[in-house]
Structures are given as structure tokens and as C-alpha cells.
Amino acid sequence: MTRDLPTHLSRADRPAQLLVAEDDQRLLASLADLLRGAGHTVTAALGGPAACEALDNQDFDLALLDLHMPEIDGYEVMAHAQDIQPHCGVIVISGESTFTSVSRALRRGALDYVKKPFAPDELLETVRNVLGQRSLIRDHAKVQHRLKKSEALHRYLVNSSPDIVFVLDKAGRICFINNKVNSLLGYTPTDLIGEHFGRLLDEQDITRGTYALQDASVSADNPRTLEVRMKTRGSRRANRHFEVTAFPIDPDTWPHTNDPEERAIGQRARIYGTARDVTERKEAEAFINFQAYHDLLTRLPNRALFKDRLNLAITQARRNSQKLAVMFLDLDRFKVINDTLGHAMGDRLLQAVTRRLEECLRRGDTLSRFGGDEFTLLLPAIHGKEDARQIANKLIRALQPPFQLGDHEVFVGISIGIAVFPDAGDSLDQLIQNADIAMYHVKGKGKGDYRFYSDTMSIDTANRLSLERDLRLALDRDELRVHYQPQVCANTNRIVGLEALVRWQHPERGLLYPPDFLPLAEETKLIDDLSERVLAKACHQVGQWIHDGHDDLRLAVNLSPIQVEHPRFVHTLMEQLRTYQFPPHNLEIEITENVIMNDLEQISQKLRELADYGVRIAIDDFGTGYSSLNYLHRLPIHTLKVDQSFIRGIRNSEDGACIVNAIVAMAHGLKLEIVAEGVETDAQLCYLRQLGCHQVQGFFYGPAQPAEFIRRSLGRDRLAQNVTAV
């Protein structure tokens, strides 16, 4: 069995271990003495068997063997020594000096040969030479061993490095690349050796990447660090991101090597580099970035990104003297759908709405989710209002078809406020705020429409805030008043109905009218409270007059779209009537066409319920909203209120009068009652009378007045013309 080399390698600086084998007892003793005298440690073996035994048990640096020994001769011992201790050198000593025996011994591995009789000095000299030679061989083996270990270690380190390690030549071709390129990009190193580094780069990074890694641009003072995308083999996986660091190589310092291939690399090598895979970090950064600037549900830009883009667009529009439009979009009825069908459905609806809206836009437009069911839209570089108007119409139309949410078919409309730069504001905040104000004016008027911002809509922000605070207080302090405008039968001049119109007795600003505070009440959701108070006061007041004998007196109340859309609208209204013991058939609710058209299904069901209780339904501002006359005979409608603008038309133009003719004729055909609003002149009254429109309301008979005033008027049997007293 061969003994291990390492023990042998560790024999530095100790006396050499010698084995002397000789079958002549005397000669053996004198040889041993001679060698010991020279400082060696000697084991004397008398004959071949003893020598083999010694070799089995002990390590030797050198064996001096007599060739001719009985039983086991020197050749056999030498063979055994080579078997078991190949590092142990052998010198043969023999009386034979023929060429054959010398060459045989040397061929079998003997390092030298000493002929008997020998001179002691000659023997010691030979031993010294052989030991010196052995020591050199040992040292060399040691160095080789260390080199091998170190090479293996470095190869292991390079190949198991988490980074791609590469060496490029002057022209940017790959001279070396480690195995990591396989697990990260799918190439084997042999695929790439000799290829230009640019082959690995993503098309978008080739110019930048190759420029940065050009031989001349990388120096010891200027190592390169850059981020590039690299292609994966085939197109199965997405390209990955790497942080590349490159250093120059001085070919003179390339390690000396006997391997011609490695030497050739050393001569060509100019750049050494590592490429660290930073894909995950990049993806995380991209996600965080996306999250910071987008709404995750709809994947639209969020408020921050919208503002950023708007800022840029304003700068550009200012520089090029162009216009731009900001739209504030608010979904109608979203809250009701969300509350009724749940948030998951609400989310799906928002996503579906987003898709439809996006289909209406150009590439440069920015649609963003501003929060909840609010969106903002930036239309940069428009020619004028007409462009914005077209888009607004397109958006409204896009949302008209129903949305299918699971088993539910839902309708959702949109109210749009538009602010055009620079007329409606020349700063980001102004434009957004004014578009918002314009949007609330749409909401106040029945939704599902668009409006451009105009200065008359604006109540400056501070003013708005204080007004909002005051409005909350007004509810607590009972500052709301209800005035009543008579609805008069033009034939008899008798009051047949009273329209309740809210007023606000503001402690400092005096008497405020609905346009001054109703949009704000809608915006701040105070409208529910406000309407409840108005209805309560009106039911209480008019209820008393009814009980006092005006049995047929009709109370007309305006309802805000928000109220009507509330799922418990019918229940709440009927509760109130019961509380004030107000007869339902004396109540007429006024709603606009837009409210109906926004959600025909839902609203018609509610109106039918109310009609079943006896409540009357009037369409306010008839003719000014969506005119899908279809709904008229499908819904339990009792009264059409002809809008004031048409009544004014009687005086101004024939067209206006024509519309009134048509409305009145249609109402007669459908057996609906008709009330003309805004009658101010005798001429208008005469015209309406002649048409057969007998119920009128307007300044001709007087504006809305406080209850006390109306009570006195009711007291008279017939109302004198023009009750605009006091």
C-alpha cells in the first residue's frame, strides 16, 4: 500500500531517514556507522526480508540496497520500496559493475549506483547528492501541489461567484467568461468566447454599453460602472438587468502560465469585469416607482403623476401660446352601486369604466384616478373649447351602455367639469379646482352632463370654506327658511299649489338663494340634511293649511339627485310624511329629466312605489335635459313643468313659442297636467291661456314668499293679480 505524500513533504530540516540493507553483517554495521557519523538516522536491515519489513513500518528518505542478497535481492526490495514508498529514493551498492546490472538498476528506479568496495567519502558524496536531488523534487512537488490547490480554489471562486466574471480583448470580444453566464442568461461560456460583448446586450443598451466598455475609455483611474440589460438565450425569459463594473488589465501583469491557451488570453486581455444581476432590485424599484405614481386598481396615473404631467403641459402651453383642458370627472351613482353590490363589484366597475374612458382618448392625454370615483383628464394642446366639448360628449356616450357586473346590469353616468387654460386658470391648482367647481355645477343640475368653468361659478376658496362652516351651523341654528311660490290656476286666479323653495337667512350675508349655497351643499353632502329640514318645515306648514280647509292644496318640493338615488329614498320620504301626517296625494315631487335618464330602471321603480302611495310626480325644467320622451308613458308622471326659458321665448321668438305649443299639445295628448314656470307678463299669460295651459307660476303672480305672507294670500278666496306685495 502506498504511503501518502503529505507526510513525506513535511520532512524539512530533520536528519534524513536512511535504510541500509546488506547481507554481510560486518559491512552492514560499518555502513550504518559511516552514515550515522554523517548525521543521518539509519535503520540497518540484515538482508532483503528485514529491509522489506522496515519499509513496511517506517518512512525513509533514501534506501541503500545491496543488489545481491539471498532470499529477497536488492531489485525486489527496490520494487517493494517503489510500491509502498514511491518518494523514497534508492542507491544500489554492489560488487557488480557491469553495464547491464547498472543500467538494470537505474531503469528500475535507482537514483545512483556505488560499487564495492567504495571509498567512504565517495559513498557519502553520492548520498548527499541523492538527498539534495530528492529535496529539490520534493520542493517542486510541494509547489506544484500548492499551485494546483490554489488554481482549483480560484477556479471555484470565479465559477461559483454570484456575478458573471468576464475578460474582454481590445476589440471588446470575450476572452473569458465564467459559468455563471449559463445559469443567469442561458449561454455556455463556449458559446460566447470570441463573440463581441455587445451580443449580450439588449438592443436598447448596445450603443451605451459598447461605448462604456471600449478599451480606451476604461482606465485604472476610470473603472467603469454601468447598468445595462442583457439578453437571455432564446426569448423564453425576459431580459435581465446587470450592474457591470470593468477594470483595465495590463497584459504584462497577466500571470505566467505554461498553458498556451491561457497565455494567448493573457496577451489579448484588456478589460476585466463583473456583471451583477440586479434584476430583482430593478423590478422592486420599478414596482415601488409604479406604486408611487399609479393607482393599483385601475393602473392609471395617480394624483401626483397627474399633477406632474399637468405642470409640464402648462409650461409647454404657455411657451407655445396654446390651450389645454383639465377635466374633472365624477361617476354618478357609483356610491349607490358600491354600497349595494359591495366593494369587489365597485372595484370591477371602476376598472371597466377606466377601460371605456381610455378608449376615447389620444396617446398624449392623461387620464388619472384622483381618488374614489373621481378621475381627472388632461388634454394638452387643444385648439379650443370645441375639442374639449367633443371629448366630453364622447366620454359621456361611452358610459351610457350598461355595465355587466356578474349577474347585475348597472348603469353609471359621469359628470364632467372642464377648465380650459388659460381662461379658467393659469396654475395647476386653479385649473383642477375650477374643473372641480364646474363638475359640481353639473351634479347640482342633475348629472350626466358637462360644463365649462366660468367665473360666476367661483366662490373663492376661503369663502367656500367659511360658507361650508356656516352651512353646517345653519342647520344647527335653524337658519333655513322655506318660501312658497304659488302655482295659480290662470282661469280662476286661485292658488292650486305652492312650490317650496329654500332660503338661508345668513346672519351676516342676509337672505341667500339656492344657487348661492345648493352646489356647496351637494358637494359637502349636506344636501340630505338640508332637504330633510325643508321637507319637514313645508310638510308641517302646508299640512296645517290643508287641515284648515285647503284640502286640495298641493305642495311641490324639489329633490336633489343625491336624495333620489339613495336606496332608502322612498322609505325616508314616506316616513317623513307619516311623521307630519301629511296626505301623500297633496305632495308633488319635482325631479328633472336628467335624474330619470341617469338610471331609468332604479328611478322608475321608486317613482312607481311613490305613485302607489298617492304621491304626485312632476318633471321640472321639462325640455331642457335629455329628451327621451319614451319614458313619459312608462313612468307614473302627473305633471310637466315647462321651463322658464321656453316661456321667455313666447315673448322673444316664435321658436320659443313653438316649443311651448308642442309641449302643451303633448301633455294634453298624454293626459298630463302642465305648469308653466317663470310667467312674468300678461302677454305670456294670455298666450298660455289660449293654448289651454291653465296652471302657471312666476313673478306675474309673485315670487316665493314666507309662510306668513302666503297664509294671508290663502285667506283670500281669490288671489288678486300680482301678489307681489310689501
Ligand X SMILES: Nc1nc2c(ncn2[C@@H]2O[C@@H]3COP(=O)(O)O[C@H]4[C@@H](O)[C@H](n5cnc6c(=O)[nH]c(N)nc65)O[C@@H]4COP(=O)(O)O[C@H]3[C@H]2O)c(=O)[nH]1
Considering the rule CB under 6 A, would residue 714 count as an interface residue with ligand X? no
Residue 534 in the binding site for ligand X (CB under 6 A): yes
Q: How many helices and strands in the chain, by DSSP H and E? A: 28, 27
What is the distance between the alpha carbons of residues 611 and 281, in angstroms, rounded to a whole number? 65
Question: Is 555 an interacting residue with respect to ligand X (CB under 6 A)?
Answer: no
* Nearest C-alpha neighbor of 437 from the set 453, 415, 421, 420: 453
d(C-alpha 86, C-alpha 456), whole Å:
109
CB atoms within 10 A of CB 267: 11
- Rank residues 388 and 495 by Cβ distance to ligand X and give the closer one: 495
Nearer to ligand X, 223 or 514 (CB): 514
When asked if residue 724 is in the footprint of ligand X (CB under 6 A), the reply is no
Q: Whose Cβ is closer to ligand X: residue 367's or residue 438's? A: 438
User: Locate cell 339613495: which residue?
Assistant: 566
Q: Among residues 20, 501, 587, 676, which is the contact residue for ligand X, using CB under 6 A?
A: 501
Whose cell is 392609471? That residue is 300
Under rule CB under 6 A, residue 519 binds ligand X: no
Which grid cell is 681?
Answer: 307678463
- Cis peptide leading into residue 567 (ω within 30°): no
Cell of 588: 308633488
Site for ligand X contains 513 (CB under 6 A): yes
Non-local CB neighbours of 279 within 8 Å, separated by 6+ positions: 240, 241, 242
**Comparing C-alpha atoms, which of 379, 411, 403 is closest to residue 392?**
379
Our finding on whether 558 is near ligand X (CB under 6 A) is yes
- Helix ranges, 448-560 (H): 461-477, 514-523, 527-547
By CB under 6 A, which span of 20-28, 401-409, 508-516, 718-726 interacts with ligand X?
508-516
Choices 95-103, 245-253, 283-291, 498-506 (CB under 6 A): range interacting with ligand X: 498-506
Site track for ligand X across 639-658, x = CB under 6 A: -----x--------------
Q: CB nearer to ligand X: give 511 or 662.
A: 511
Residue number with CB closer to ligand X (366 or 563): 563
Say which residue the cell 509547489 belongs to. Answer: 143
N- to C-terminal Cα separation, the chain:
134
Among 704, 707, 710, 719, binds ligand X (CB under 6 A): 704
Decide if residue 511 touches ligand X (CB under 6 A).
no
Where are the extended beta strands (E) located within 55-151? 62-66, 89-94, 112-115
Q: Which of 485, 594, 639, 705 binds ligand X (CB under 6 A)?
A: 485
Select the span of 73-81, 333-341, 598-606, 674-682 touching ligand X (CB under 6 A).
674-682
- Taking the complex as a whole, the smallest distance from the CB of residue 720 to ligand X amounts, in Å, to 17
Instruction: Please report whether residue 514 would count as binding ligand X according to CB under 6 A.
Output: yes
Query: For the window 177-216, what string marks contact with ligand X as x by the rule CB under 6 A?
Result: ----------------------------------------
Is residue 485 classed as helix, strand or coil in its secondary structure?
strand
Find the shortest distance in angstroms from Cβ 545 to ligand X. Answer: 18
Nearest distance, CB of residue 703 and ligand X, angstroms = 6
* Size of residue set near ligand X by CB under 6 A: 24
∠ CA 653-659-665 to the nearest 5 degrees?
135
Shortest distance, position 361 Cβ to ligand X, whole Å: 34
Stretch that binds ligand X, among 30-38, 114-122, 183-191, 557-565 (CB under 6 A): 557-565
Q: Is there a contact between 55 and 81 (Cβ–Cβ < 8 Å)? A: yes
CA distance 486 to 89: 134
Q: In angstroms, how far is CA 35 from the centroid of its own chain? A: 88
Q: Which C-beta is closer to ligand X: that of 89 or that of 702?
A: 702
Q: Is 680 in the site for ligand X (CB under 6 A)?
A: yes
Nearest approach, Cβ of 556 to ligand X (angstroms)?
8
Q: Does 167 bind ligand X (CB under 6 A)?
A: no
Query: Toward ligand X, which CB reaches closer, 271 or 618?
Result: 618
479 binds ligand X, rule: CB under 6 A: no
CB atoms within 10 A of CB 510: 8
Q: How many angstroms separate the CA atoms of 157 and 153, rounded? A: 6
Return the range that interacts with ligand X (CB under 6 A); candidates 165-173, 286-294, 319-327, 675-683.
675-683
705 makes contact with ligand X (CB under 6 A): no
Q: For residue 502, state whether it binds ligand X (rule: CB under 6 A).
A: yes
Q: Is 688 in the site for ligand X (CB under 6 A)?
A: no
Distance CA(494)–CA(585), nearest Å, equals 19
Helix (H) or strand (E) holding 49: helix 48-57
Enumerate residues 600-639 that contact ligand X by CB under 6 A: 620-621
Does the protein bind ligand X through residue 698 (CB under 6 A)? Answer: yes
Cβ closest to ligand X, residue 262 vs residue 528: 528
CA angle 641, 647, 650 (to 5 degrees): 145
Residue 286 C-beta: closest distance to ligand X, Å: 49
Task: Dig out the grid coordinates for 646 from the structure.
Answer: 321656453
Kindly tell me which residue out of 349, 591, 678, 705 binds ligand X, with binding defined by CB under 6 A: 678
State which residue, 545 or 622, has the beta carbon closest to ligand X. 622
**Spatial distance between the Cα atoms of 475 and 526, rounded to a whole number of angstroms:** 9
DSSP 548: T
Give the binding range for ligand X (CB under 6 A) out of 29-37, 374-382, 385-393, 699-707. 699-707
Shorter beta-carbon distance to ligand X: residue 417 or 698: 698
**Helix (H) / strand (E) containing 371:** strand 366-371
The residue range among 103-111, 255-263, 281-289, 497-505 that interacts with ligand X, by the rule CB under 6 A, is 497-505
Residue 85 to residue 78: CA distance in whole angstroms: 10
Rounded Cα distance between 429 and 436, Å, is 10
How far apart CA 182 and CA 234 sit, in angstroms, is 13
List contacts with ligand X (CB under 6 A).
Answer: 485, 500-502, 513-515, 518, 531, 534, 558-560, 590, 620-621, 644, 678-680, 698-699, 703-704
